Amino acid sequence: MKTTNYFNEFASQKHPEVQREWIEQVLADPVKREVQANDRISHWRNIEAAEGRVLRVITLEDGETVHNAFFDRNFYKRQQRGEEPQ
């Protein structure tokens, strides 16, 4: 898995509960993918091993170099209201 310096130095330490295998699951089969204004790409997926929480993975424009990964409570809440895909 390719990662940015930001991910290696900051994001992975800030969110140590996020496992690399979960990041790979999100990238392989997201429930939603969206290009951000800065051309980075957000990918979301529920992680069953983390009690169904939603993991958001942000990649560079190439769609594979991981820049950030964290659990997205807001997306999960929108899912519960039927506003986002499950």
pLDDT value, residue 73: 96
Say how many residues make up the chain. 86
Rounded Cα distance, 22 and 69, in Å: 10
Task: Give the pLDDT band of residue 1 (cuts 50, 70, 90).
Answer: very high
Classify 11 in phi/psi space as left (phi over 0), alpha (psi -120 to 50) or beta: alpha
pLDDT digit string, tens, across residues 35-78:
999 999 999 999 999 999 999 999 999 999 999 999 999 999 99
Percent of the chain with pLDDT over 90: 98
Query: How do the domains of the chain map onto residue ranges?
Result: 5-80
* Contact indicator for 57, 51 with CB cutoff of 8 Å: no
Rounded Cα distance, 75 and 84, in Å: 7
Predicted TM-score (pTM) of the model is 0.95
